[in-house]
Structures are given as structure tokens and as C-alpha cells.
Chain A
């Protein structure tokens, strides 16, 4: 298994660079890389215990793969495969597919590493490859959005590096486990870097513009899996070091509410989806033990939603309410929206119930409210008028969306215990309350929230505020 793990980490990079040598086979090689990761993830689920790898000595690379990373790896494989299928008939160059595999490989590495330096390398490589994907269109706007993304994430990662060396100073190892003995400033700096990279809470305000202004398949990739590379280490740290778990959870609740609050007043489909990502990342963080399953549920549904939103006739909700959308497209949209709202028989239900079960009562109440907020958000999609004539959709669209929606149903197999009568009634009640609130209040509101905080300077400035907040939270009580 050890050799297999190392081979699996290296494979996407090897295949990705081969694409440059054999550009004719680009799509086939890319999909091969994704399928190999999926096979490896299933292998992990079949294994009784976790695989731990320590290369050289205690101060070098340490890897750990278990069921938690298995969920993240599977999400990565499915989302990448769906994006490649979506782009299949388009005239994307070999460069595009090679970069997709680079993102895929670096995320795999990030999901397997348990030391700060391997993680740093994984995150930075994924950042560079994502930059190239965002800027693929080569327009001024796409270049600015990509530059802003790279700038913000690199500045955050510089703080992270300072935090990492402070951990090394305290425990002579870069392993996540060293965080327990590290001074509070180390925790503050490392977590600030990861919160920015993962787009959590206020640090995640870079995310709406980046995810909404990218091309459809790139948005799906970014929202479905790239941000999870920042979230996974937070979850892993919370599991390995007990002291930091409360910090992670509080940020989870904050993110869940902030995303929903901004999303409700959003008038643009893709921006609304991006804010919903911020909120859903909070759900992953709030219950670290079961965060992996939620990440799978969210990754599948969010990339499906971004692909569908790319095929809608307009991005503006107001215009969409005037137009009728094609019924088949509408059904796909409703299935995805119901899953993310937590409707039974779709994986979102199992994930939400499992998360709520693993919370203390105070957190559970807060997250139930956040769940109602999610139902309100997606009522906007569900109650769009349908019945319009079929607009010719892209040839790769249906296979990709069907793969993701099929995954939403099949992934229920991971959690069949959630299907009790009580849980189902609860889920339906949450959705009912959300829809009622939508009809009574939010359908008519026309408040426009200011976007000042999304400006570049404010995003950088917030890094210092968040690290001060984290420092105060990490101080030994």
C-alpha cells in the first residue's frame, strides 16, 4: 500500500507532463488520471486502518491517508472527471487539460500530507495551476481576477510559512501534531493562511468574485474541490490536536452564517453559488469527525450547480424569472438544489443529518438555522419558471451533470443509518420553513449589500485582523 500511495501521488504530475509530450492524447490521459484517483480512493475505503508514511525521519515528509482523506480524494476524482467530460467536445488546448491534472495532483498531495511543508507545496502548486486555469481566457478581466487570487493566496501563505517555522522551533518537526506544543502565534499564523486559502468566514471574501468571474468548468473545479485543500488541513488539525478543535468549529459556524446572509441578498446566480460555497465550507468545519462526507456531498452538488448555472439563459435572477427555462434542465437544477438543501434520498440529506448528530446542542441549533438559510437560498433556483423550449446545450454538458447527479444518489450508500423517520421529517420541516420564509419575505426584498469588503486592499488588511483574532482565541486560557 505504501508504494501504491507514493505512485498515486506522483501519477497525476507524470501524466500531466506527458500531455505536453503527446498533446493528441490530452483528454484521454486527463480522464485516466482522474479515474486512477477514484480507484485509489475506493481502495482506501476498503482498508481497515489508516496508512501512515514517514519518509526519512521525523522532520521530513509525513503522509497519512484514511477514510477522511478518502472522501476528499474521491470528491477530487469525480469533480475533475466531470469537468474533463464537460470540456471534452470544446476546443480547449492540451495546456488546459495539463493544468487540470496539475490541480488534481497537487490537491491529492495536500489531502495526503500531515506535515506543514508538504501541505505548503501542495497548496502553492494548486494555487499556481488554478491561476493558469482562471486566466485561460486571456481577457483583461480574467487576468485581473487570477492575479488577485494568486496575490491574496500567496500573501496568506507567507504568513503560514512563518507559522510553520514557529512550530518547528517548538517541536523540531513540521508535523501537524506539533501544533499542540506550538505557541499561540504559530496557530494564529498557520490558521490564518489556511482560512484564506480555504475561503472560510471573512477571509473568504475573495471567493465570490473569483468563482463567479471564471469560466463555467473552472468555477466548478474551484468551488467543487480547490477550496477544500485549505479546509482539509483545518479538519485534520482539529482531529489531531484537541486544543484547536473549538477554534475551527467557531469559524465553521461563522462561515455558515456569513455565506447564507450574503447569498440571500445576491441577485446573480454564480455569485449566489459562490456565497453558498462559503456557507457549506462552514458545515465541513463545524463537525471535523464527519467533515469528509460533507465535503463529498458538497463537492458533487456544487460543481453540478455551477455547470447547470452556466447553461441557464441568464445570470441575473430577475431576468431568469421572466424567462422560461427548459424543463429537463430545470429537473437537473431541482435535484441538485434539493440535495444541497438536505432533501431525503439525496446525499445532502445524509451529510447534513450526520453533521447535526455530531454537534453539541448549542452548535446544533445554530446549524439548523443555517440549514434553513440554505433552503431559502436554493428556493430561488427551484421556483424559477419552467417549460421553455430546449436550447441546444453543449454536447459534454449532460454526461458531466449526470455523472455528478448519479454520484449524489449513489453516495447515499456511505450513510444509510441516517434514514429514520424522525430525520426525514426534520429535513422536510427545515426545507418547508425555508421555502415559506422565501415566499413571505425574501422573494420581494431588493437590498443590495455593499461589496466594499471585497476590494483588494481590504482583503489583505483583513488578514492582519483575522490573525489578531486567532491569536486571541489561541491564547491559553
Chain B
């Protein structure tokens, strides 16, 4: 169930990228998609348990798998920096294409 919802988020983002006309909306949709992917990693990590994986003297409890969580941290950072770069370039593009419709920008800038 949780998995299905997460994958639905990914697809929502993906179709948004295709169907939204505005460049900012496309970037936001990409962010939705990457949120879905990150959530999917967390879901996969929680298959073995829910608790934070910290070694302690206490009794043996069901820990979450730390590896996917650690890995997705890198992806979050990369995704965020890419997002920032994209938004900066959209700001530059907005000066000459104030409506930011992607097909307009594409038409103006393809030979």
C-alpha cells in the first residue's frame, strides 16, 4: 500500500514534467518525482523494522536498514543542488521570456 502510494507520487511527477507547460512547474514536478524516489528508499529501508539503527545495550529490536537511508542522503544533496542550478538558469531565461512557457523558449532557442 505504502509502496503503491510512493510510486504514484513518482508517476505524478513524471507526467507533470510532460504535461505542464510552464518551466517552473516542470521543475517543481521534477522535485515531486525526486521526493517520490527518496520516499521509496525510505520504504525499502523500513522493511526490516522501524527503529533508528543505533547500536545500544538494550534488547534486540527490529532496526531499519541503514544502507538505503545513507545512500539516499547523497541523492538528496545532489537533487537539491541541481534544483538550485535549474532555478537560477530559469531566472536568467525569464528576462527575455517572461511567460516561461517551455515550448516558446524552445522555439526561440533552437536553430
Contact = CB atoms under 8 A, between A and B. Distances in A.
Given A146-B89, A147-B89, A158-B34, A120 B75 contact: yes
Contacts of B72: 161
A162 B105 contact: no
B82 A150 contact: yes
Nearest to A148: B106
A174 interface: yes
A456 interface: yes
Given A144-B106, A209-B110, A457 B18 contact: yes
Interface residues of B, number: 39
A141 B14 contact: no
A451 B89 CA distance: 25
B89 A461 contact: no
A165 B65 CA distance: 12
Given A140-B108, A155-B33, A121 B26 contact: no
A128 B105 CA distance: 21
B44 A161 contact: no
B5 interface: no
B89 A143 contact: yes
Interface string B83-102: 00110011011001000001
B18 A461 contact: yes
Contacts of B63: none
A59 interface: yes
B71 interface: yes
A391 B10 CA distance: 54
A206 interface: no
Contacts, number: 93
B61 interface: no
Nearest to B91: A143
A135 interface: yes
B8 interface: no
List the 8 shortest-distance A-B pairs measured between CB atoms, nearest first: A144-B109, A141-B109, A124-B78, A147-B89, A143-B89, A59-B67, A161-B37, A117-B71
Nearest to A116: B71
A121 to B, nearest CB: 6
Tell me if B's interface is mostly helix, strand, loop or mixed.
Answer: helix
Nearest to A268: B111
A206 to B, nearest CB: 12
Interface of A: 59-60, 117, 120-121, 124-125, 127-128, 131-132, 135, 138, 140-141, 143-148, 150-151, 154-155, 158, 161-162, 165, 168-169, 174, 209, 213, 451, 454-457, 460-461, 464
A174 B92 CA distance: 39
Contacts of B34: 158
A168 B67 contact: yes
B75 A161 contact: yes
Given A59-B67, A146-B89, A168-B67, A140 B109 contact: yes
Given A132-B85, A158-B34, 9 more contacts: A117-B74, A120-B74, A121-B74, A124-B78, A124-B82, A135-B89, A138-B92, A140-B93, A165-B41
Given A165-B40, A464-B14, A140 B106 contact: no
A209 B34 CA distance: 26
Given A151-B26, A165-B44, A455 B33 contact: no
Nearest to A59: B67
A150 B109 contact: no
Nearest to A139: B109
A158 B40 CA distance: 11
B106 A455 contact: yes
B85 to A, nearest CB: 6
B30 interface: yes
Contacts of A213: 111
B14 A155 contact: yes
A147 B68 contact: no
B71 A143 contact: no
27 contacts: A59-B67, A117-B74, A127-B82, A135-B89, A138-B92, A140-B93, A140-B96, A143-B93, A144-B105, A147-B90, A150-B85, A154-B79, A154-B82, A155-B14, A155-B30, A158-B37, A161-B37, A161-B41, A161-B72, A162-B10, A162-B40, A165-B41, A165-B44, A165-B68, A168-B68, A169-B44, A460-B18
Contact of A168 (B18, B44, B102): B44
Nearest to B110: A209
A165 B105 CA distance: 36
